Structure 1
């Protein structure tokens, strides 16, 4: 098989999807981290969209996480997508829901004021409420780990950081989704998709934002232990 290299950024959730899939399949790969604020010239030459992840497959380059994950699923066992075409399409659709939630999360941590923050929170809540009636547990379709799970592990990882800032109640009362989140957090491939210092990197990123959440994160970091955010 050709040599695989995953071009990454430490915080990118889409990179994490590809890393989870590679790990689940036991595929050997190299990982190269770049700074997206100072993109190297070689990366600009390789990435048509200027985004990570990229997967170098020998002399070829794949971009876009969904494409990368599907390629890996077609070329390496075990299969993570369902064999049935209709069910496979359904899974791909839920992966897109995960991408939509990630877009809402970006809007959440960039929201300039409390009103905008609440609107983004409500948008995220509405989507995860739909998942409550879909998730079989302990993973998306039961005992079998799928690419939908690989897509949502990075989604729920953001909530870990948000929970340290304040109780936003995004998953309140959603028992199945809550159990799914906890199960994904324990999955070795999901845990290994980020570096050990990921929580500190993410919190530093959030505190640096010129946003309502950034201000709350800075306030929480400066407040005495036990103080309300």
Structure 2
């Protein structure tokens, strides 16, 4: 089955970045369409039951246009249907373990959302501590290899790379202390930042857009920088 792929995206969305990274790791051609989530077009709302990105529109000769939503579902579909480097372990138990860590990455993003949008110092500190605790768990799970599970890049790496990207800007603003005592996490972060698929998952304007997002939310994070 041959299919054309169209990824409906938003320039800042970390969940979109997962799908972009997976597609690039597989070397799959796709069309990316960025939308404004504050002014969602009608055609997008018809495609996305949850009104969220990413949505992968798969067009085939036999089924026509099918819209897949939820980033992990999209990544699994890419893994199951596209040739190229395997992004999931072959062993069923290891694969399930990787899926669990992908969900853990989503939980980290939940805390990150609170960290970057809150105006309240107490809430900010609660989220900072929650992130530190979660990354401490990640530290224990990591080995001494460059990626999450060894020398091979996986979907877990695709999930965590967009998380670390936030801290490229946060580190310019203030010292959060989240990775201070986590040498394996720091090494993993540095390795992921070098990956071409990770680097090209966002546009050159990403840092400016993220900073503007913080300004719009009157984020406490910016007050720490001041």
Task: Give TM-score, length-normalised by structure 1.
Answer: 0.93
Residue in 2 that maps onto 1:104 = 111
- Secondary structure in 2 aligned to 1:62? strand
Question: Residue 62 in 1 paired to residue 68 in 2?
Answer: yes
Residue in 1 that maps onto 2:17 = 16
- Cα deviation, residue 210, structure 1: 2.6
- Cα deviation, residue 214, structure 1: 4.0
Q: How large is the Cα RMSD of the aligned pairs?
A: 1.0
Query: For structure 1, which runs of at least 5 residues remain unmatched after alignment?
Result: 221-228
- Secondary structure in 2 aligned to 1:60? strand
Residue in 2 that maps onto 1:29 = 30
Select which of 206, 211, 218 maps to 2:219. Answer: 211
Residue in 2 that maps onto 1:121 = 128
Query: For structure 2, which runs of at least 5 residues remain unmatched after alignment?
Result: 60-64
Question: Residue 41 in 1 paired to residue 42 in 2?
Answer: yes
- Cα deviation, residue 212, structure 1: 1.5
Partner Cα separation in structure 1 for residue 4 and residue 223 of structure 2: 44
The answer to whether the 8 Å contact 1:3/1:29 transfers is yes
Partner Cα separation in structure 2 for residue 95 and residue 31 of structure 1: 23
The answer to whether the 8 Å contact 2:21/2:197 transfers is yes
Residue in 2 that maps onto 1:226 = none
- Cα deviation, residue 211, structure 1: 3.2
The answer to whether the 8 Å contact 1:208/1:214 transfers is no
Partner Cα separation in structure 1 for residue 31 and residue 69 of structure 2: 16
Q: Which runs of at least 4 in structure 1 moved beyond 3 Å after TM superposition?
A: none
Partner Cα separation in structure 1 for residue 179 and residue 34 of structure 2: 32
Select which of 194, 201, 205 maps to 2:202. Answer: 194
Residue in 2 that maps onto 1:161 = 169
